[in-house]
């Protein structure tokens, strides 16, 4: 059932000459060493979809490391070996890289474990992949350069827009594929094939997500957060029960998604208008704050431990809950200092997440508060206050007082205000 299609014409039309020359050379090296060489996976899929993707993954039948070293020498690139997987990478001076692997099959001793690897043929190498759309190869050796290799009806699925696993145990062996199915479905606007969908749901309901390390799940989840259709993916993950298994003890609700959408929108605004506050912000954290704030402590604790969240995460959830209560007492007439008092010691992520929970009527005021505080400075500092004989905690209190007054436009001259303030203070004691 091997199908071969000549797609050289498509390649010439679509792939920039720079990469075409490289692919031809990679094929020539294979022929010189008597090894079949293929470009595989996402590159092939995206070429057939006419989508730009020049991440080149090479698979070699034979000794891939010998091939990679040979190619590195001829192309004058650096070669980095990952010997345990019979793979390596070529690094070009401009940062471009090519991954090279020896054709392999993977087998799983236990479900959801990392696979054991065995050297093999291109057919088996393609069969171990996640979905048929990702399981095609293009041969690069000179004689057959540009021949599409399709063992499993992959091109047919790609043409019809279908996400299909290649064997029934696929989701059980690697449950991260559950998330990958959603990601590709939403990215390409494809459909998950019926039987694949049944098996996906079975794997979810039978607790296979829980068998994967938090790190691998987080990685795949973050890839979803980096796509354009985040909302649709999350809603589907909610409906299929995936989120309930990723974040145990919590429950998916449409309202949580709506909150997160507001946060995302606000985050876009931040990046455009006050980029300073996007420093070190992680979408994964924004999501979890929005998602877990009103859940029982157990839910927060579970995700905290499973996904290696920052130390301050649990405490931040408490701060968030309290701040939401306070902020929603404000109105359009509230002053900047009212906001300042509530969010003063918030980190960037909390400053953004807040936006998902505040009333629409104060959102504009909150935005202008952030703009205001962004380039806000005082002329005086603690030393100025201490030089007037004030000591200890009081210094900070006075400084803060002046800061709030200035924020609200109630002070013209800080120094004068400080002098008067201290005079009044001394007279009162
Ligand atoms: P993207 O366009 O998002 O980079 P990609 O298909 O290139 O998509 P990668 O995660 O870079 O995705 O993986 C490269 C290839 O490796 C895939 O096309 C697929 O064939 C294979 N692959 C990746 N992850 C898995 C997995 N969990 N199980 C099986 N095959 C996988």
Q: What is the pLDDT of residues 77-103, one digit of tens each?
A: 999 998 777 789 999 999 899 999 999
Question: What are the tens digits of pLDDT across the range 114-127?
Answer: 776 666 889 999 99
Atom of ligand 1 nearest to the CA of 55: 7
Cβ of 349 closer than 6 Å to ligand 1, yes or no, is: no
216 CA → ligand 1 middle, Å? 13
Please give the full DSSP string across 217-236, using - where no structure is assigned.
HHHHHHHHHTSS-HHHHHHH
Per DSSP, the three-state class of 176 is helix
Find where tokens 């003063």 sit.
Answer: 344
Give residue 8's pLDDT band: very low, low, confident or very high (50, 70, 90): very high
Q: Which two tokens stand for residue 159?
A: 């043409």
Average pLDDT for 242-262: 97
- Higher-confidence residue of 410 and 315: namely 315
From the CA of 177, give the closest atom in ligand 1: 27
The CA-CA-CA angle for residues 127, 236, 165, to 5°, reads 10
Give residue 78's region: left, alpha or beta (phi > 0; psi -120 to 50): beta
Share of the chain above pLDDT 90, in %: 77
Residue nearest to atom 15 of ligand 1 (CA): 41
| Residue with CA nearest ligand 1 atom 9 | 42
Is 6's pLDDT higher than 80? yes
Determine how many CB atoms are found less than 10 A away from the CB of residue 315: 10
* Calpha distance 326→336 (Å, rounded): 14
What spacing in Å lies between the alpha carbon of 51 and ligand 1's midpoint? Answer: 16
User: Which is higher by pLDDT, 284 or 115?
Assistant: 284
92's CB contacts (< 8 A; 6+ apart) are 75, 77, 98
* Residue 397 in this model has a pLDDT that exceeds 90: no
Confirm or reject: Cβ of 115 under 6 Å from ligand 1: no
Residue 154 confidence (pLDDT) above 80: yes
Residue appearing with tokens 């899929």: 45
Nearest to 230 by CA among 262, 261, 270: 261
Above 90 in pLDDT, residue 178? yes
Tell me what the mean pLDDT of segment 165-173 comes to: 97
Q: Please tell me if the CB atom of residue 42 comes closer than 6 angstroms to any atom of ligand 1.
A: yes
Q: 137 with 110: CB under 8 angstroms?
A: no
- The whole-number pLDDT of residue 113 equals 76
CA distance 189 to 332: 42
Provide the pLDDT for residue 124.
Answer: 92
pLDDT of residue 338: 94
- Nearest ligand 1 atom to the CA of 126 is 20
For the segment 130-143, the average pLDDT, to the nearest whole number, is 97
Q: What is the dihedral of CA 225, 226, 227, 233, to 10 degrees?
A: -10
Q: What is the ipTM of this complex?
A: 0.96
As a whole-number percent, the residues of the chain with pLDDT over 70 amount to 98
The whole-chain average pLDDT of the chain stands at 93
CA of 223 relative to ligand 1 center, distance in Å: 11
DSSP letter (8 states) at residue 377: -
29: confidence class by pLDDT, cuts 50, 70, 90: very high
Q: Which H or E run includes 109?
A: none
Quote the tokens at residue 397.
């209190």
Look at residue 117 in the predicted model and tell me its pLDDT. 64
Distance, in Å, from the CA atom of 135 to the CA atom of 123, rounded to the nearest integer, reads 9
Q: 249-260 burial by CB neighbour count: b if 16+ within 10 A, else e?
A: ebebeeebbebb
Nearest CA to ligand 1 atom 28: 130
In a mutational test of the pocket of ligand 1, which residue from 39, 42, 219, 233 has the highest number of ligand atoms less than 8 Å from its CB? Answer: 42
pLDDT band at 26 (very low <50, low <70, confident <90, very high): very high
Q: Is 134 in the pocket of ligand 1 (CB under 6 A)?
A: yes
The SS3 call for residue 82 is strand
Does the Cβ of 176 fall within 6 Å of ligand 1? Answer: yes
Q: Residue 362 C-alpha to ligand 1 middle, in angstroms?
A: 44
Average the pLDDT over each of 42-46, 233-237, 346-350, 382-386 and give the range with the smallest value.
Answer: 382-386
H or E, element range at 426: helix 414-428
Residue 183 alpha carbon, nearest atom of ligand 1: 3
Tell me, using a 6 A CB cutoff, whether residue 177 lines ligand 1.
Answer: yes
Pick the range with the lowest mean pLDDT from 101-110, 165-174, 250-259, 365-374: 101-110
pLDDT for 114 equals: 72
What is the three-class DSSP state of 294?
Answer: coil
Report residue 258's pLDDT band, with 50, 70 and 90 as the boundaries.
very high
Index of the ligand 1 atom closest to the CA of residue 223: 3
What is the pLDDT confidence band of residue 290, given thresholds at 50, 70 and 90? very high
Nearest to 192 by CA among 177, 176, 207: 177
The Cβ of residue 15 has, within 10 Å, a number of other Cβ atoms equal to: 17
Q: How far is CA 178 from the centre of its chain?
A: 16
Residue 169 has pLDDT above 90, yes or no: yes
Structure tokens, 177: 């594929």
Residue range 185-209: average pLDDT?
A: 98
pLDDT tier, 293 (very low <50, low <70, confident <90, very high otherwise): very high
Report how far ligand 1's centroid is from the alpha carbon of 256 (Å). Answer: 30
Shortest-distance Cα residue to atom 1 of ligand 1: 42
Residue 289 CA to ligand 1 center (angstroms) comes to: 29
- For residue 130, how far is its CA from the centre of ligand 1 (angstroms)? 7
Residue bearing the CA closest to ligand 1, atom 12:
42
> What is the atom index within ligand 1 of the atom nearest the CA of 180?
27
């Amino acid at each position: 059932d091997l199908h071969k299609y000549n797609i050289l014409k498509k390649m010439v039309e679509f792939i920039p000459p720079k990469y075409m020359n490289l692919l031809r050379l990679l094929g020539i090296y294979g022929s010189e060493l008597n090894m079949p060489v293929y470009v595989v996976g996402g590159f092939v899929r995206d070429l057939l979809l006419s989508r730009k993707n020049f991440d080149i993954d090479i698979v070699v039948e034979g000794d891939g490391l010998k091939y990679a070293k040979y190619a590195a020498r001829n192309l004058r690139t650096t070669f980095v070996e990952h010997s345990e997987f019979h793979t390596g990478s070529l690094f070009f001076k401009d940062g471009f890289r090519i991954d090279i692997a020896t054709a392999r099959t993977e087998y799983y001793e236990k479900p959801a474990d990392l696979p054991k690897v065995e050297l093999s043929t291109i057919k088996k190498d393609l069969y171990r992949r996640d979905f048929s759309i990702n399981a095609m190869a293009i041969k690069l050796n000179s004689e057959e350069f540009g021949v599409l290799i399709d063992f499993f009806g992959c091109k047919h699925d790609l043409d019809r827009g279908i996400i299909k696993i290649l064997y029934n145990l696929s989701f059980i062996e690697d449950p991260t594929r559950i998330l990958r199915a959603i990601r590709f479905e939403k990215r390409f606007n494809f459909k998950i094939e019926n039987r694949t969908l049944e098996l996906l749901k079975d794997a979810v309901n039978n607790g296979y997500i829980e068998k994967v390390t938090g790190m691998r799940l987080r990685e795949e989840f973050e890839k979803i957060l980096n796509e354009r259709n985040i909302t649709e993916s999350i809603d589907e993950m909610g409906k299929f029960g995936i989120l309930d298994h990723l974040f145990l003890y919590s429950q998916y609700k449409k309202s949580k998604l709506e909150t997160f959408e507001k946060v995302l929108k606000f985050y876009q605004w931040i990046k455009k208008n006050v980029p300073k506050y996007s420093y070190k912000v992680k979408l994964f954290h924004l999501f979890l704050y929005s998602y877990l704030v009103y859940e029982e402590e157990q839910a927060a604790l579970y995700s905290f431990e499973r996904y290696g969240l920052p130390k301050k995460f649990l405490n931040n959830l408490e701060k968030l809950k309290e701040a939401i209560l306070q902020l929603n007492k404000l109105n359009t007439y509230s002053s900047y200092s009212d906001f300042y008092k509530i969010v003063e010691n918030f980190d960037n992520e909390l400053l953004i997440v807040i936006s998902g929970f505040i009333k629409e009527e104060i959102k504009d005021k909150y935005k202008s508060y952030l703009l205001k505080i962004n380039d806000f400075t005082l002329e005086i500092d603690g030393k100025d206050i201490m030089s007037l004989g004030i000591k200890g905690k009081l210094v900070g209190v006075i400084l803060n007082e002046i800061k709030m007054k200035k924020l609200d436009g109630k002070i013209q001259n800080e120094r004068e205000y400080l002098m008067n303030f201290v005079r009044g203070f001394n007279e009162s004691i």
